[in-house]
Amino acid sequence: MKVLSVSSEVFPLVKTGGLADVAGALPIALKRFGVETKTLMPGYPAVMKAIRKPVARLQFDDLLGEPATVLEVEHEGIDILVLDAPAYYDRAGGPYLDATGRDYPDNWRRFAALSLAGAEIAAGLMPGWRPDLVHTHDWQSAMTSVYMRYYPTPELPSVLTIHNIAFQGQFGADVFPGLRLPPHAFATESIEYYGNVGFLKGGLQTAHAITTVSPSYAGEILTPEFGMGLQGVITSRIDSLHGIVNGIDTDVWNPSTDPVVHTHYNGTTLKSRVENRTSIAEFFGLHNDNAPIFSIISRLTWQKGMDVIAATADQIVDMGGKLAILGSGDAALEGSLLAAAARHPGRIGVSIGYNEPMSHLMQAGSDAIIIPSRFEPCGLTQLYGLRYGCVPIVARTGGLNDTVIDANHAALAAKVATGIQFSPVTASGLLQAIRRALLLYADQKVWTQLQKQGMKSDVSWEKSAERYAALYSSLAPKGK
Ligand SMILES: Nc1ncnc2c1ncn2[C@@H]1O[C@H](COP(=O)(O)OP(=O)(O)O[C@H]2O[C@H](CO)[C@@H](O)[C@H](O)[C@H]2O)[C@@H](O)[C@H]1O
């Protein structure tokens, strides 16, 4: 089966979050199920710089007002179609924000163009290759299935995956003419959303199947608390909704071979982690003593519960923990966390910024990773934690709930526990979890058992890729 995946970021070419990891790893995992994927993504400067010997495959003179070329290239095992459109993507800032951190004002056109290019390829415009199915991700490519619906060519099946419903791609009705859709597309059963244009809303209405990245989150988004206004639309599509938990690339994330990890180890050589721990302590300016290091690797936002970390940092230190925090995001939260570090030199270290190698080392050397998200469709850092023997302490929500087994008495006795879950996401909820972690940590035999059990968890793509492949087959024409 041939699949066109359309994504606004793909690891290792460009990554701002978990979407890139999934868009990069899933096509590789799907190969063994007979699925051949080409992934269409924007030609940001970092992408244009990284690719070698691309081949021009399709030319647009006027893709929503600008010229563009689709280039094909193989990059680290992924077949990439780069949408080279300098007017849209050759910019100094990041994929979505300018250098000052503001949304590009023409994001609607930039990602409608990506989606339209996807729909054109789906319609068979690219010589020599037409997919059997299209897979889109989040609002940035959700318009692909909208364009596909209004195409004169026979419609292909499409799957839309929701990675984060908090970002919906909503724009004023004034952008509608610029999308070049027929007038009747501005309707409730398509992209119209309370008088505005909703890209994710349009995708939810037009994709043949909707998936999200864990079974728990698939249930949660049907409720007003988690649906963020789209719960009604999703409920109306409940028969086409699937929760498939994310996996991780276990070759990229492997503590016995990871090139950025100083000292390699496996489940039987966990003691070697201590050398990685020393490197983290050095980087974050932490005392290299026996107190456990709790890591945080995250966007510093309310969704991720970072305000709760800021509110409890003093008590976590008082209780005997140390914090190593890597991330960036909300300026006020960055300020509160830096202030906490200044109050507790040697006990709290904060690094503001994005640092992929350090994120690996932290998993390989710190004792636990705290993930206090208010909602979490799947979450990847707890999966990396499990793989690296870095015990996850997670909010009981979404995919965190589905992937971490809480160390309650029964689970400990049965030797199946892999981490700590807590609820609600409040200061007292988190502190209670930290207290439990410190008690477990004090008994090194129990702690080691938790680490080992976590490392045995199947966090690979194997089972989930099989589920995507089965979903694709159920939608694609017979024989594909
Ligand atoms: N400062 C930093 N330096 C280096 N690396 C950093 C970093 N901050 C974050 N990261 C990395 O970025 C990724 C974040 O992925 P998550 O799944 O945790 O959340 P995100 O909200 O981006 O993804 C959304 O999509 C994914 C994929 O479906 C879902 O798992 C998730 O629940 C959903 O919110 C991880 O690989 C993490 O290691």
pLDDT in tens, 175-214: 999 999 999 999 999 999 999 999 999 999 999 999 999 9
286 and 147, same domain (yes or no):
no
C-alpha 294/C-alpha 291 separation (Å) is 10
**328-368 confidence digits (pLDDT tens):** 999 999 999 999 999 999 999 999 999 999 999 999 999 99
Mean pLDDT value across residues 412-434? 98
Atom of ligand 1 nearest to the CA of 161: 28
Quick one: 34 and 121 in the same domain?
Answer: yes
Same domain, 333 and 391: yes
pLDDT of residue 152: 77
| Statement: residue 151 has pLDDT above 90 | no
| Inside any domain, residue 259 | no
Examine residue 264 and state whether it is found in any structural domain, yes or no: no
In the structure, what pLDDT confidence band is assigned to residue 478 with cuts at 50, 70 and 90?
low
Q: Which domain holds residue 228?
A: 2-247+462-475
Cα–Cα dist 179/260, whole Å: 44
CATH number, residue 393: 3.40.50.2000
Contact 96, 49 (CB under 8 A): no
In a domain, 265, yes or no: no
Ligand 1 pocket, Cβ-based, cut-off 6 angstroms: 17-19, 21-22, 163-164, 213, 246, 297-299, 326-328, 354-356, 359, 376-381, 399
Average pLDDT, the chain: 97
d(CA 350, CA 4): 40
Are 141 and 162 in the same domain? yes
20 alpha carbon – ligand 1 mean position (Å):
9
Q: What is the pTM of this model?
A: 0.95
Q: Are residues 165 and 205 in the same domain?
A: yes
Q: How far apart are CA 231 and CA 145, in angstroms?
A: 20
**286 and 235, same structural domain?**
no
- 204 C-alpha to center of ligand 1: Å? 23
How confident is the model over 124-129, as a mean pLDDT? 96
Do 469 and 416 share a domain, yes or no? no
Same domain, yes or no, for 237 and 339? no
Structure tokens at 354: 């994005």
DSSP H helix total and E strand total for the chain: 20, 18
Strands (E), 163-314: 170-171, 192-193, 196-198, 209-212, 241-243, 293-300
For 259, the 3-state DSSP assignment is: coil
Q: What are phi and psi of 37, to 5 degrees?
A: -110, 135
Distance (angstroms) between ligand 1 centre and the Cα of 356 equals 11
Q: How far is the CA of 19 from the centre of ligand 1 (A)?
A: 7
Quick one: 321 and 295 in the same domain?
yes
- Residue labelled with tokens 């963020």: 228
Please indicate, yes or no, whether residues 467 and 411 belong to a single structural domain of this protein. no
What pLDDT does 362 receive?
98
CA distance 480 to 460: 25
Region 155-159: what's the mean pLDDT? 92
Nearest residue by C-alpha to atom 38 in ligand 1: 381
> Per-residue pLDDT for 154 more than 80?
no
Q: Is residue 254 part of a domain?
A: no
**Residue 342 within a domain:** yes
Three-class SS of residue 176?
Answer: helix
Residue 263, pLDDT above cutoff 90: yes
Residues 183 and 320 in one domain: no
Q: What is the pLDDT of residue 20?
A: 97
Q: Look at residue 479 and tell me whether its pLDDT is greater than 60.
A: no
Q: How many domains does the chain have?
A: 2
How confident is the model at residue 480, as a pLDDT? 56
Contact 297, 359 (CB under 8 A): yes
130, 275: one domain: no
- Can you tell me the mean pLDDT for 21-34? 97
| Residue with CA closest to ligand 1 atom 8 | 298
- Residue 10, pLDDT > 80, answer yes
What is the per-residue burial (b if ≥16 Cβ within 10 Å, else e) of 325-361? bbbbbbeebbebbbebbeebebbbbbbbebbeebbbb
Q: Is the pLDDT of residue 477 over 90?
A: no
